[in-house]
Amino acid sequence: MDPEIDPIPLFRQSSPRRFVMRNLASAGIFAVALITGTLVQAQTYEQSLAAVEQGNDRAAFTGFKKLAEQGHTKSQFQLGMMYRNGLGVPEDDRQAVAWYRKAADKGDANAQYNLGEIYRNDKGALKDEQAAYFWLLLASAQGHQNAARNRDFVARRLTPEKRAAVEAAAHKWHPS
């Protein structure tokens, strides 16, 4: 074999470099898409907030819903608010709870507080003082002042056993 001739073809010698370059290019495209998607979400969220301020609840609802279905936490919270208060849609506490829950599960303190309040104050099937205590505990742990006050109010109405069980569950809880 001639020592001047490399038995490994040239294209194979450069393939690690091409592999890295190709993957860097793919990562760059992904990063741009991720940033652009985040910017579009932020823009649409801001547009939806502006629609609320202008009294265009239906447009706000449409914008928030699109983002909420994509997992945008603040939009999930806003949909909960809209359903709870009948803004742009008929009032529907079950839908409010469903959207608040999505945001609360991700650690949104305002959604946790609102869930706690629905469970604490509902006059019907949604009343659940243990669930109220759970969500108010989580919100108050993040510094939500109203949640701390209402948590203590609910705690006084629970037995020590129920209170301890809820506190243990809250201690184990982690955002999804």
Alpha helices in the chain (DSSP H): 10-13, 15-53, 57-69, 73-85, 93-105, 109-121, 129-141, 145-157, 160-172
pLDDT value, residue 22: 43
Tokens of 40: 């579009």
The whole-number average pLDDT for the span 78-84 is 97
Q: What is the pLDDT of residues 21-78, one digit of tens each?
A: 344 444 443 444 444 445 456 668 999 999 999 999 999 999 999 999 999 999 999 9
Q: What is the pLDDT of residues 125-137, one digit of tens each?
A: 899 999 999 999 9
% of the chain with per-residue pLDDT over 90 = 73
Q: Are 137 and 166 in contact (CB under 8 A)?
A: yes
pLDDT value, residue 41: 64
pLDDT value, residue 124: 85
pLDDT surpassing 70 at residue 147: yes
- Residue 65 to residue 81: CA distance in whole angstroms: 12
Q: Are 92 and 126 in contact (CB under 8 A)?
A: no
